[in-house]
Amino acid sequence: MTQATTRRTTAAKPSSRPKAKPAAAPESRRQVGVLIIGSGFAGLGAAIRLAKDGRDDFLVIERGSEVGGTWRDNTYPGAACDVPSHLYSYSYEPNPDWSRSFSPQWEIQDYLRRTAEKYDVLDKHLFDTEVTSAQWDAEAEQWLVETTAGGFAADVVVAAIGALCEPALPDIKGIETFQGEVFHSSRWNHDSDLTGKRVAVIGTGASAIQIVPAVADQVAQLDVYQRTAPWVMPRRDRAYSKPEKLVYKHIPGAQRLAREAIYWGREALVVGFAYRPKILLGAQRVAERHIRRQITDDDLREAVTPNWQIGCKRILISNDWYPTLVKDHVELVTDGIAEIRENAIVTRDGAVREVDAIVVATGFHVTDSPGWEAIKGADGRSLGQVWREEGQQAYKGAAVAGFPNMLFVVGPNTGLGHSSMIYMIESHVNYLASALDEMDEHGLATFEVRADKQRAYNDDLQEHMKQTIWMTGGCASWYLDSHGKNTTLWPSFTFAFRRLTRKFDLAAYRTTARADRPAASLTLVEEGVA
| 175-236+261-360 matches 27-166+365-513 in CATH topology | yes
- Topology adopted by domain 27-166+365-513: FAD/NAD(P)-binding domain (3.50.50)
- pLDDT tens track of the chain, all 530 residues? 433 333 333 333 333 334 434 444 556 789 999 999 999 999 999 999 999 999 999 999 999 999 999 999 999 999 999 999 999 999 999 999 999 999 999 999 999 999 999 999 999 999 999 999 999 999 999 999 999 999 999 999 999 997 777 777 888 999 999 999 999 999 999 999 999 999 999 999 999 999 999 999 999 999 999 999 999 999 999 999 999 999 999 998 999 999 999 999 999 999 999 999 999 999 999 999 999 999 999 999 999 999 999 999 999 999 999 999 999 999 999 999 999 999 999 999 999 999 999 999 987 776 677 788 999 999 999 999 999 998 899 999 999 999 999 999 999 999 998 999 999 999 999 999 999 999 999 999 999 999 999 999 999 999 999 999 999 988 888 788 888 899 999 999 999 999 999 999 999 999 999 987 654 444 444 445 54
Contacts of 229 (CB under 8 A, 6+ apart): 204, 303, 304, 305, 306, 307
Q: Which of 160, 33, 31 is nearest to 439 (CA)?
A: 33
Residues 155 and 145: their CA atoms lie apart, in Å, by: 11
Question: Residue 474: its pLDDT value, please?
Answer: 87
Give CA torsion, residues 197, 202, 208, 209, to 10 deg: 90
Q: What is the DSSP letter of 175?
A: G
Which CATH number applies to 175-236+261-360?
Answer: 3.50.50.60
Answer whether the bond into residue 346 is a cis peptide, omega within 30°: no
HSE of 128, CA atoms in CB hemisphere, 13 A: 1
Give the residue extent of every domain in the chain: 27-166+365-513, 175-236+261-360
Contacts of 49 (CB under 8 A, 6+ apart): 429, 432, 433
Q: Count of CB atoms within 10 A of residue 510's CB?
A: 14
Please tell me whether residue 423 adopts helix, strand or coil conformation: helix
